[in-house]
Amino acid sequence: MNGMKWLEEVKWDTLGLVPVIAQEASTGDVLMLAWMNREALEKTAELGRAVYFSRSRGKLWFKGEESGHVQTVHDIRLDCDNDVVLLKVSQLGHEPGIACHTGRHSCFFQRFEGGAWHAVDPVLKDPESIYK
């Protein structure tokens, strides 16, 4: 992959991270926003599977390692400022795919209406049965 020059072109923040948007390749649905460090982005490109950096755990997070909801990566893109990564993925592990730890298809399930946030997308699988 042209050495590691491609990793140097990413504008990492002061913590060495870059925000990553996961978009479902088949529907265009935005599934989630996560973070990657260099190692996570390198592994994602190498494995063809989404690998993120968990800020709360301080370590690599192979999407689906606990839930089975793996993201197969079809396309990796970098925005015009080189500071946001977009992954076009297939969400595996449940039909329709579950990306959110709440058991929903997308993490963006709350809509602002009438001065408040409302959950507008259904829970597809009880999170208690996903994370044991």
- Encode pLDDT of 60-115 as tens digits: 999 988 888 899 999 999 999 999 999 999 988 666 688 888 888 888 899 999 99
In whole angstroms, give the CA distance from residue 98 to residue 107: 9
CA dihedral of residues 108, 47, 19, 69 (deg, nearest 10): 20
Cβ distance 44 to 37 under 8 Å?
no
CATH superfamily assigned to domain 5-125? Phosphoribosyl-AMP cyclohydrolase (3.10.20.810)
Q: What is the pLDDT of residue 1?
A: 47
Cβ-Cβ contacts under 8 Å for 86 (sequence gap 6 or more) = 20, 21, 23, 75, 76, 77, 78, 79
What is the residue extent of each domain of the chain? 5-125
